Amino acid sequence: MNSRRRLTTSTLLVVTCLLLPCAQSHGAEKEKRRHPQVIRGYGSGAGGMGYGSVSAPAMMHMEMSTGSVHMGATVGGAKDITYARSTVGQGEIPHPNVFTPEGLFSEHDLPLDGNTACNQLFCATGAAIPATLVAQPEVRYLAQLGFSSNLTPATFKRAPLNLIATIDKSGSMSGHPLDLVKESLLQVLEQLGPDDRIGIVLYGDRSYVHLQPTPAIHKALIQKAIQAIESNGSTYMEEGLKVGFDLARQSKRGFHGTTRLMLFTDERPNVGRTDAQSFMGMAQAASKDGIGMTTIGVGVQFGAELATQVSSVRGGNLYFFTDIDRMKKVFTEEFDTFVTELAYDLRVTVKPAQGLKIVGIYGVPGSMVRRDADGGLGFDVATIFLSRKNGAIYLALGSDSVSGLGDAPRPVSDALLQAHLAYTGVEGGAHTSDSALAVVDAAKAPLGLSRGCVLVDEVTVLKQATALFHEKNDQEGAYQLVHAIASILRQTADPDMAAERKFTSELENQLAKRSGHAGEPTAQRSIHPVTGMPD
């Protein structure tokens, strides 16, 4: 398909910070409180979900021996901005709709150092600090609502998985795309355990079951089936999904664990239709039956509208792979968590303090956000997934320009936002919580706040700059914006920002060529204060 777009979503955080604190290096993340406890399996019936069971003494021993900290939680949807990075790497200027905050945040760990321990499977906390953003001068604060879990890498055990891989083998998949899919399946097989099983459905001009759900212990048989996949025929995605979901429902019966369909394709599914036979209609129907869907895009960019739709369905998430190395990294590090759901139907409402108004939200697609009559915002998230990273949604605050109270500095501990959350636990129980997102000392900002401020600054600048380039033909304005954010990133010492420094510098160079700035000296590279080595 010629149309190439991309989208992403991530976990929920809200944060505020000054430009200077955003650019400063933050020390090592403080170790989070650890509270070992029994994690009992729940929903152990057919198709139910469970984490197994570990005794408290055993958990305590594992935590002491591994030094593990609590795991994070993220929303569904897309999980990277790989397409934007690859576009710049090819010497092109990406379209603004490929820069989604959700995707960028998902590539980074954004922890909030909370003083309160999480004593259940899903928790939320928040904080705020003053902020200055290049593309939004009206911003005074950013607030962070962070999601976490009481699970740790030592105590977490994924439930048995019944995986139905549904693969586009049409002619457009010939060569690298299909090779990448086959390598992906082989890597998935490495992540499966003795209690897991995998089935394979192929679709092109016709759709059929290529491999009945087979226990992962039969590795040689499964590997042979994967290697036998060949490309041919046209693309009939809806028929392929119908066969895949039918197989998922059949094989789910009597299986004590989770069932998930994983779609591999280089085509952008049609999200405009929601009838029973469409991509979205089938995904929504399957979600009601307890079957989640992970969409894996290979060789093509998926647009923001797809990610928004995927994230609106229970159990839906989306990844985009351009090469084998990234695929292996994702499956090795994230496979167990992106098939593990913690909570459903999260409804969040946030209300600013007097004198302030919400002027930006980053980490949730705008189409999912609603304005409330009292000046607050609300948004719904279909699924919260377990994650080894701490994700984020950020809310920007500015003066309400009516009372004049928004411009006065707020003292530490002053609450800027009131947040109310309501959600359904994966075990079925209803939960609510209320929290105040208060100002913290910017000099002692948690890692998620200082790092997140830079990322919010980056993504808002990149969206505005590429919009100037593509929609206004303002090459000079685009260059000046990217030059500003690239200069800021060059002054950050956070090693986690290395990819962002490289990315913005490459885009800066591409825009320099187009705006007549090529050959001009760039800002001085940052120097490590201890070693004296250049960044």
Query: Concatenated DSSP letters for 484-524?
Result: HHHHHHHT---GGGHHHHHHHHHHHHHHHHHHT-TTPPPPP
Identify the DSSP state of 15. B
| Per-residue pLDDT tens over the stretch 454-487 | 999 999 999 999 999 999 999 999 999 999 999 9
Between 100 and 66, name the one with better pLDDT: 100
* pTM assigned to the model: 0.76
Average pLDDT, the chain: 80
Residue 494 confidence (pLDDT) above 80: yes
Amino acid at 43: G
Q: Which of 70, 127, 200 is nearest to 415 (CA)?
A: 127
Quick one: pLDDT at residue 356?
94
Per-residue confidence band for 300, with pLDDT thresholds at 50, 70 and 90: low
> Residue 2 CB: number of other CB atoms within 10 A?
5
Burial state string for 58-83 with b = 16 or more CB within 10 A and e = fewer than 16: ebbebbeeeebbbbbbbbbbbbbbbb
Q: Taking the CB of residue 251, how many other CB atoms lie within 10 A of it?
A: 18
The pLDDT, as a whole number, for residue 405 is 58
Q: Are 430 and 453 in contact (CB under 8 A)?
A: no
Per-residue model confidence (pLDDT) at position 272: 58
Note whether 40 and 53 are within 8 A (CB): yes
Look at residue 427 in the predicted model and tell me its pLDDT: 80
pLDDT tens digits, one per residue of 213-240: 999 999 999 999 999 999 987 878 889 9
Residue with tokens 């636990």: 425
How high is the pLDDT of residue 63?
Answer: 29
Token couple for 19 = 């430009």
For the chain, domains (ranges, CATH) are 161-339 (3.40.50.410), 447-515 (no CATH)
Structure tokens at 372: 């409330």
Q: Is the pLDDT of residue 26 over 80?
A: no
Q: What is the pLDDT of residue 132?
A: 92
Q: Regarding predicted confidence, which is higher, 427 or 459? A: 459
Q: How many CB atoms lie within 10 A of CB 345?
A: 14
CB 207 within 8 A of CB 215: no
Per-residue pLDDT, averaged over 173-192, amounts to 93
Q: Which residue has the higher pLDDT, 41 or 126?
A: 126
Q: Are 384 and 423 in contact (CB under 8 A)?
A: yes
Output 301 or 59, whichever has higher pLDDT: 301
Calpha distance 439→129 (Å, rounded): 5
452 contacts 15 by C-beta, under 8 angstroms: yes
pLDDT digits (tens, 9 = 90+) for 374-410: 889 999 888 888 988 887 889 999 998 765 555 678 8
Sheet holding 77-78, edge to edge: 77-78, 316-321, 291-298, 258-265, 161-168, 197-203, 207-215
Cβ neighbors of 383 (< 8 A, separation 6 or more) are: 75, 76, 292, 311, 313, 314, 315, 316, 317, 341, 343, 344
Report the C-alpha gap between 94 and 478 in whole angstroms. Answer: 12
Tell which wins on pLDDT, 432 or 271: 432
Q: What is the mean pLDDT of residues 106-128?
A: 79
Tell me the pLDDT tens digit for each residue of 41-93. Answer: 222 223 333 333 322 222 222 222 233 377 888 877 667 788 888 889 999 99
Asked whether the predicted pLDDT for residue 155 surpasses 70, the reply is yes
Higher-scoring residue by pLDDT: 1, 136: 136
Q: What percent of the chain has pLDDT over 90?
A: 44
Give pLDDT, residue 366: 74
